[in-house]
Amino acid sequence: MSTPAPKEFLDYVDAHSDDFVNRLGEAVSIKSVSGDPDRRPNVVEMGDWLEKQLKMYGVETKKVDLNFIVPSDQMLPPIILGKIGNDVSKKTLLVYGHYDVQPANQSDGWDTDPFVLTTMPDDRLVGRGSSDDKGPVLGWINVLEAHYQSNLELPVNLQFCFEGMEESGSTGFNEFLSSEDANNWFQGVSNVCISDNTWLTPRKPAVTYGLRGIIYYAVKVSGPVKDLHSGEFGGMVYEPLGDLIHLLGTLTSGDGTILVPGVNDTVRALADDEKVLYEEMDFTTGDVTDATGDTLVTTDKVQLLMKRMRYPSLSLHGIEGALDSNEPKTVIPHEVTGRFSIRLVPDQNPGDIDQLIQSHLKEEFAKLKTKSVLCITAVGDGFPWLGDITHSSFQAAKRATQDVYGLAPDFTREGGSIPVTLSFADKLGVDVLLLPMGRSDDGAHSTNEKLDKSNFINGTKLLGTYLYELK
């Protein structure tokens, strides 16, 4: 049974939309780039600012100093925890978000100063972090303010967990989750909601129930003791670059098919009800060609979606140590490193897949009978995650979307990875839901990142309405 949000809440959001945009502008102006050590004080500043916002609306807060959990030669910004409500008869929802952002400079190609939120004539709110993830985080602050100022009781107990290192690998986060501090703080959590992704397209809201895992590889091939002149030594020595190119060519075909034996054997079969989800999604091949050009491996909508969401993919990223300029140099590199990654799907264990890939590379290398030396390094053990859309939290999100947008959302799976999702699912043993605010064309890590004002305001309504549908 649907339980829409009260009119007082919705009216308050509409009446204060400009105030909410101004607050987002304050947040964007804080240059909280976690990947730049010189900006770490700004990340800490952003955490302090966010904590003050929570306190304004009655939230009990706590800072977790990661520097005492994970030794680091660089300042680690704190995790900001919040808690409001302790009614044992209500559900307790844990909200996760992050307050750090990707690097940005106007010289990168921005049309505006990336750290000044600029409202464009078409109501795009342009600025670094507007969509990823300051806009969604402030959507929750907006929900708190609307209830506080309207004297409305929150329909659920709320907890907040906002981190400042998400864009830099979430350093220290899993260690925090394993701490006694986290055990005590997260007692009683019944559901988790994360707003750190986007709709599948610019047109239709989405609720996300799956993510792919990832393993990242560096494959180094070493040969001569130094770089050599090809006129003097070409044809006389085994060349590492040729060996490496051969190895990389055995991993995947031109149409994206993974050639490593055994990798595709562990993908679960496609169920009829799952196929229907792909068939019903508001998606066309044009949504991809607009961003990529006409380079698709298939024009079948369902196949294209499944290649993004439910099948593993292996992508080559580059070769380090080879010629990277247009100068006519004729050097034979003495050492090169190829980089690639594989995205994993449910039922694929990173350890098992890693063993298959490493065995394959070593066997193919042995076939070359080269005197070069092979070294393989694997980074990351990102497990895939899959929720159950029939569970109450997903159905509540579906009803909330219908309440706010007037249509049912697409149930989507992300092609990328958000490791914290699985961390919460494993740690707390509760339903985790991804409820995106922004659109697919927001350009989260790119130049001119934006969040449409309508998504910011309706997204705030969605988050608040979700609380009522969840209760």
* Helix 17-29 vs helix 40-56: crossing angle, to nearest 10: 150
Note the pLDDT of residue 207. 98
Integer Cα distance of 398 and 395 in angstroms: 5
Tokens for 232?
């003097």
Sequence-distant (≥ 6) Cβ neighbours of residue 180 within 8 angstroms: none
Integer Cα distance of 396 and 137 in angstroms: 20
Integer Cα distance of 230 and 120 in angstroms: 55
Note the pLDDT of residue 71. 78
Tokens for 313?
């993919």
Tokens for 77?
């910004």
Integer Cα distance of 375 and 447 in angstroms: 36
Sequence-distant (≥ 6) Cβ neighbours of residue 256 within 8 angstroms: 297, 307, 313, 314
Count other Cβ atoms within 10 Å, centred on residue 163: 27
Integer Cα distance of 122 and 277 in angstroms: 32
With contact defined as beta carbons under 8 Å apart, do 329 and 228 qualify? no
Whether 469 is catalytic: no
With contact defined as beta carbons under 8 Å apart, do 375 and 170 qualify? no
Note the pLDDT of residue 325. 83
With contact defined as beta carbons under 8 Å apart, do 211 and 419 qualify? no
> Which amino acid appears at position 13 of this protein?
V
The catalytically annotated residue of 166, 403, 410, 414 is 166
Q: What is the pTM of this model?
A: 0.92
Residue of 220, 239, 221 lying closest to 229 (CA atoms): 239
Integer Cα distance of 54 and 158 in angstroms: 11
Whether 363 is catalytic: no
Q: Which residues does residue 132 pair with via DSSP β-bridges, in sequence order?
A: none
Domains, in order of start, for the chain: 7-211+384-470 (3.40.630.10), 213-267+311-382 (3.30.70.360)
Integer Cα distance of 1 and 333 in angstroms: 67
Note the pLDDT of residue 18. 98
Note the pLDDT of residue 381. 64
With contact defined as beta carbons under 8 Å apart, do 399 and 5 qualify? no
> Which amino acid appears at position 207 of this protein?
V
Count other Cβ atoms within 10 Å, centred on residue 302: 16
With contact defined as beta carbons under 8 Å apart, do 94 and 192 qualify? yes
**Cis, bond preceding 133 (omega within 30 deg of 0):** yes
> Which amino acid appears at position 319 of this protein?
I
Digits of tens for pLDDT over the chain (471 positions)?
789 999 999 999 999 999 999 999 999 999 999 999 999 999 999 999 999 999 999 999 999 999 988 877 788 999 999 999 999 999 999 999 999 999 999 999 999 999 999 999 999 999 999 999 999 999 999 999 999 999 999 999 999 999 999 999 899 999 999 999 899 999 999 999 999 999 999 999 999 999 999 999 999 999 999 999 999 999 999 999 999 999 999 999 999 999 999 999 999 999 999 999 999 999 998 988 887 888 999 999 999 999 999 999 999 999 999 988 888 889 999 999 999 999 999 999 999 999 999 999 999 999 999 999 999 999 876 789 999 999 999 999 999 999 999 999 999 999 998 889 999 999 999 999 999 999 999 999 999 999 999 999 999 999 999 999 999
The catalytically annotated residue of 51, 100, 243, 335 is 100
**Cis, bond preceding 36 (omega within 30 deg of 0):** no
